Structure 1
Amino acid sequence: MKATWLIRTGILCGCVGLLYLAAAFCAEPDASEAKDDKSHCVPVATARDRAKLMYDIYAATLDTMHERYFHGDRAIVPAHAMEDIFAEIKRQSKVEARWISVNMKPMSINHEPKTEFEKRAAKEIASGKAEVDIVEDGYYRRVGAIPLGDGCISCHGGLFQQPSKSPKFAGLIISVPVKQDSSQSE
């Protein structure tokens, strides 16, 4: 019973944390928009787009939590449950998301950094950078650091893994399709 409660609490905490990161990502104004004390304000079209994306994220998270969280016999770890949310958001908005391993053994071969950008981002996050971004191949790509606590490390590092002396991270890649013309740059 206690293990089920811990799994459910972990899933809930993981989902809430990722929703917080999504909200921070979606709500952050561009530097060009921060001209006065109303720097939090964005144009209506941007607000509409962000609100739609936030709705989709929250609704997909709610559905996934109900499906995974309230069925103890089928409960899964939060990061794996989030992959279902990633798939639903991609289906709805064409925005892609995926995990990458930064400075620990990947839990899946799908979490290995694949592209040169992903490999560079993993190295920069491992060295302490919070985020790395690029515009390439018709996408704005942002990799954000996901800190791994001792509970995460005990699973990712193995059952008998000792608490880490140095910070450990995973990375969350968000890839948003963009229209790019010759005047745009990274």
Structure 2
Amino acid sequence: MEIRDVMPAEELAAERVVSAAFGEPPDGRVVQMMRALQTSGAARASLVAVVDEELVGHVGLSRGWVDARRELVEVLVLSPLSVRPDRQRHGVGTALLAAALQTAQDRGAPAVFLEGSPYYYGRRGFSSASALGFDRPSTRIPDPGFQVALLSSYQPWMVGRLIYPEAFWTTDTVGLRDPDLERVEAQVASGIAGARAPGGG
């Protein structure tokens, strides 16, 4: 498996992987979010997984901020993480996550945030952001799903509310809405939460 930056000629193939992973049409909300992040200048990295010369996975990193008391801190937001359905559960998502965290580390980011299953991401370098003093950008993000990986340039004062780039809001890809939100909140309350990552990582 090769993990590398996406090439311009592969962008449509990457979008097809994302659409398939999220069960959306080719022009669905997650793909629209990816495009909006690119056109707005918020995208910071777009990595793909290639197996046997086929693009089978994708992960994106975009700019966000933590509104700390001392100053606004630029951080990275990991979204989306996508693996082609026929390649899920074969380590592609894990490899993409590791590459994304290394990319963030290399670029000096103090932290990487995401929304997702604490069971999946908790075994792959992430932990509860709320427990570390961060505030969710929306109450529609179930608290257990608000995850962060702290990197070497992080300092203890860098806590506060996470602010998403505008593209997340204009495409309505922040958190969940009912009935999905209601279902996940009921699962959290009963101690049951899905172990799979969004997008089938």
TM category (shorter chain) comes to 0.3 to 0.5
Give the helix-richer structure, 1 or 2.
1
Report the TM-score, using the length of structure 1 for normalisation: 0.35
Report the TM-score, using the length of structure 2 for normalisation: 0.33
Quick one: higher RCO (CA 8 Å, sep 6+), 1 or 2?
2
Give the strand-richer structure, 1 or 2.
2
Larger radius of gyration: 1
